[in-house]
Amino acid sequence: MKINLTANYLLLGDRSIDSIHVDAVEVTLKDLVRIISGRSTTSDNLEYLNSEGTALQPIFEVMINGCPLSLCEKGIHTVLKDGDNVSLYLDLPYGG
Amino acid sequence: MADSLHTVRFDGRKCKGCGRCIEACPVNAIRVRSGKVQTLRKRCIDCGECIRTCPNQARTAGTDTLAARAPYPYSVALLPPSLEVFLDTEGLSGAISFEDLRGAFSNMGFSEVFKVAAAAEVVTFIIEQHVLRKLRARPLFSSSCPAVLKLIRTRFPGLLKHVAPVLSPMEVAARLAKERAVKRTGLSPEKIGAFFISPCPAKVAEARDPILTTRSAVDGVIGVNLVYGDIVSRLSREAAKKGREEAQGTAQPGTETHRSAGNRPLTTSMTVSGIHNVIRLLGEMEGGRPVHRDFVELLACPGGCPEGPLNTRKPFEGIQDLRGLIQKYRAKQHFHDHEYLLDTYCRGCFASTAPILPAPAGAPDQDQRVRAGLRT
């Protein structure tokens, strides 16, 4: 399946991608960020998940089809479908 | 609303008629009439989506220039956190101190600099107190993005009760900076000019036509695109000089550049960025969707202020040590102690002084009349 991606950083460390093909029938957001992290060439230690693997690090703002992850009922266990749009933004400072 | 209060400018000579701005405008403020592009001013929220998408630079932001400081004997540059992010991604930050940053702005003629991150800490604390004391409708919306506030006023007035009744970080920064400058110099406040270095056209409009206050303390808003090259050039020279001194063992210990950490002390906060995502969320809330969060930061630019249309590049392009950058911004930075913050809140400092009201309903524009079958 193909997941469309938007990000404000280089998703693969040295380059960005606007979509990713996943060879699986079903993939969750948690799986997706692990796949992206695994394919990264230079930021292979980028931690998307907290140490327990139960939530994304708060520095990431994630939306699935325009819906904030916080409002997705299953959170990081939300199942993605073919053609879904996932936005990943680094949410750094506040105030302008 | 007068044209002078809007900041997005249009140059018809550069427009090739591709229509991208029309597609991108989230509030349908751009139309083609009689073969010419027109902006419906009363709809425009100054979000800058048209600036971002125009491939021909036909749309620009009418910001102030450095010349705006001329009437003021003493001028303060208000540095937004997004500027610090950019400088951090220039590969210079390890060697650059706050003094170097101050020197770079002094070189441009500013008397001093003030970090807006310090004001953001105050604003965050005030919002926290509102949340803890359950003084407002939950969730509270951030007051930091003027484009979003205008959007709510025009399209979602029923949600205005959610807007935090506190001045924006830019306004708080101007007030704090002037207070500090008065103490430092003995000058009267009107001789001190506060100038926000802006990544965003909406901030220009906010200073000219303030939303949560009757009078802005910001005396000018200078596009970051007008000064960024000079700052980096100066800081690069300083970094090179320090590198040489370090090699010779003569470097002085520097003060680390303060970090504008994205402090999120509220446990149930969330950020939604990108004007189309914001519209979607607000539309759902208006339709009755519950949002069980204490605080929602709504930002017009996708990815927030570092993606403001006046920035000259994408902030994180070319950053390979992303992990290091994230670690840096995770560290919380405190500018004020708890007693100061609590006192500031209890005295009502920086509370909004003007009610945020729905945008006045004007006469329907021609397109609305056409849709409503009113064309005569």
pLDDT digits (tens, 9 = 90+) for B91-111: 775 567 888 889 999 999 999
Query: What pTM was estimated for this model as a whole?
Result: 0.89
Closest CB to A95: pick one of B169, B272, B302: B169
Q: Which of B142, B145, B270, B275 to mutate to test the interface with A (most CBs of A within 10 A)?
A: B270
Chain A CA closest to residue B329: A92
Q: Which of B271, B285, B301, B333 to mutate to test the interface with A (most CBs of A within 10 A)?
A: B271
Residues of A in contact with B117 (CB under 8 A): 93-95
Find tokens 């819906």 and name the residue. A67
For chain A, list residues whose CB is within 8 angstroms of any CB belonging to chain B.
Answer: 6, 8-10, 13-14, 42-43, 45-47, 57-59, 61, 63, 66-68, 70-71, 87, 89-96
Domain A2-90 has CATH 3.10.20.30: yes
**How many residues are given for chain A?**
96
Q: With residue B297 as reference, give the H or E element that holds it.
A: strand B295-299
- Nearest Cα of chain A lies from the Cα of B38 at a distance, in angstroms, of 29
Q: Give dist(CA B257, CA A72) in Å, integer.
A: 38
How do beta strands B295-299 and B140-141 pair?
Answer: parallel
Q: Give dist(CA B299, CA B303) in Å, integer.
A: 8
- Nearest Cα of chain A lies from the Cα of B48 at a distance, in angstroms, of 14
CB-based contact A25:A42 (threshold 8 Å):
no
Structural domain boundaries of chain A? 2-90
Of the candidates B173, B156, B165, B111, the one whose C-alpha atom is nearest the C-alpha of residue B133 is B165
Chain A CA closest to residue B89: A9
User: Pick the residue with more confidence: B63 or B3?
Assistant: B63
User: Is the Cα dihedral B35, B276, B142, A91 positive or negative?
Assistant: negative
Cβ pair B316:A10 closer than 8 A? yes
pLDDT one-digit tens code per residue, B129-144: 998 888 778 899 999 9
User: Is the Cα dihedral A85, A86, A90, A96 positive or negative?
Assistant: positive
Residues of B in contact with A67 (CB under 8 A): 280-281
> What is the complex's ipTM, to 2 decimals?
0.90
Q: Give dist(CA B170, CA B176) in Å, integer.
A: 10
pLDDT one-digit tens code per residue, B135-181: 778 899 999 999 999 999 999 999 999 999 999 999 999 999 999 99
Residues of B in contact with A86 (CB under 8 A): none
Closest CB to B260: pick one of A43, A67, A93: A93
**pLDDT, average across residues B117-125:** 93
- Cα–Cα distances (Å) from B167 to A10, B94, B177, B217, B336, in that order, read 34, 33, 15, 11, 18
| Position B340, amino acid | Y
Task: Determine whether A67 is exposed, middle or buried from the number of CB atoms within 10 Å of its CB (0-12, 13-18, 19+).
Answer: middle
- Cα–Cα distances (Å) from B342 to B11, B168, B276, in that order, read 49, 18, 36
Residues 6+ away with beta carbon under 8 Å from B283: B156
pLDDT at A16 over 50: yes
Q: With residue B346 as reference, give the H or E element that holds it.
A: helix B338-346
pLDDT given at position A46 = 74
CB-based contact, B120 to chain A, within 8 Å = yes
Tell me how far the alpha carbon of residue B176 is from its chain's centroid.
17
